[in-house]
Amino acid sequence: MSQSSTLFIGMDVHKDTIAVAYVAQEHGAEVTYLGTIGTRQCDIDQLVRKMQSKAKHLIFVYEAGPCGYWLYRYLTKKGYDCWVVAPSLIPKKAGDRVKTDRRDAVQLARLARSGDLTVVYVPTVDDEAIRDLTRAREDALSDGKDAKFRLKAFLLRHDIRYTGRANWGPAHLRWLSEVVCPTPAQQIVFQEYVRAVTEHAERLQRLDQELQEHVRAWRLHAVVEALQALRGVQFTVAVTMVAEIGDLTRFDTPRELMKFLGLIPSEYSSGERRHQGAITKAGNTHARRALVEGAWAYRYPAKVSRHLQLRLEKQPKMIQDISWKAQVRLCKRYRHLVARGKHANIVTVAIARELAGFMWAIAKQLPVAA
């Protein structure tokens, strides 16, 4: 093999093993399966030395997955090209029902040479740290909802009913402190459920405070602040969007951002028949969920509330104009779609899609973060 050739190295990465296959760039070259190696740094270094004896230019390829980006960062730090590709966008034959580590590694090497793989965005270490904080907060919120559900289900089973209006407010919490169960064993269960709700609430509060402190020193803090000029996009929604997506301006057009979020409609068209279905739901689930949550604010008429005005005062006039333009358009569109008989959930997703475009427009007005 010529030393001037490029070598594509497909790696099927697991917790303790990596299956490796490689192929030269030259047309007609066969894919060679190298075998399985370990995941230690010395194993990676040995693989690199072996591949360097076959070609000068090495391109490593592996799928994004639960093992994270440590391999990408280790290889790029040493000066090698490394692609992390989207597993859901890897071409697959309809009749192929056999999946092994060897076949996956061979397929990655072959598709990398043909240019049929989609490379994903890899966040920096600091960006991923903020992303981990936002996801930990999301987990704490979900765990808290589950704990409340278990407590309410326990009370319902024993016909212990709260007659007040709002749950989990001060009056409801005072009522919970006075509940007496029929037996001592059930009282213990009740107190454990109450304690779980309290612990999850405290955990959520701690994570909120940590997130606020770390975002202030983040390189994308200005983008998070600017996005909060939009109605429905408060701190949690803004930081989740930026942490999950990174630099919004890395997308050339707003539609590319909408596509990344999985908010564009699916389509199945043939001949003269054109059919559009539900949204694709491709891309980042966490960012899409936060965006749809913020889009619910546009079901009310356009108005600058006191809280929104306080956020707008920190931003230049150009961003304030984009915020008002978004309100006028999206509130009007929400009413228009509802009047046509569309379900509120479908309308809100349509609003979220356009809201992503206004976020992209605001990010374009800011200087690129280093």
Assign residue 102 a region: left if phi > 0, alpha if psi is -120 to 50, beta otherwise? alpha
Report pLDDT for 209. Answer: 97
> Mind listing the pLDDT tens digit for each residue in 104-113?
999 999 999 9
pLDDT over threshold 70, residue 2: no
Q: Which residues contact 339 (CB under 8 A, 6 or more apart)?
A: none
The alpha carbon of residue 322 and the mean position of all alpha carbons in its chain are separated, in whole angstroms, by 25
Q: Which of 39-43, 51-55, 60-64, 279-283 has the lowest mean pLDDT?
A: 279-283
Query: Quick one: which H or E segment has residue 19?
Result: strand 17-24
Mean pLDDT in residue range 41-45: 96
pLDDT tier, 268 (very low <50, low <70, confident <90, very high otherwise): confident
- Residue 104 half-sphere exposure toward CB, CA atoms < 13 A: 15
Please give the Cα distance from 82 to 74 (Å, whole number).
10
Strands (E), 27-138: 32-38, 57-63, 81-85
Mean pLDDT in residue range 2-14: 85
> Mind listing the pLDDT tens digit for each residue in 181-205?
999 999 999 999 999 999 999 999 9
pLDDT tier, 1 (very low <50, low <70, confident <90, very high otherwise): very low
> Mind listing the pLDDT tens digit for each residue in 129-179?
999 999 999 999 999 999 999 999 999 999 999 998 889 999 999 999 999
> Mind listing the pLDDT tens digit for each residue in 298-309?
999 999 999 999
Report pLDDT for 191. Answer: 97
pLDDT over threshold 90, residue 15: yes
Q: Is 23 in contact with 109 (CB distance < 8 Å)?
A: yes
Report pLDDT for 94. Answer: 85
pTM of the predicted model, to two decimals? 0.89
Higher pLDDT, 68 or 276: 68
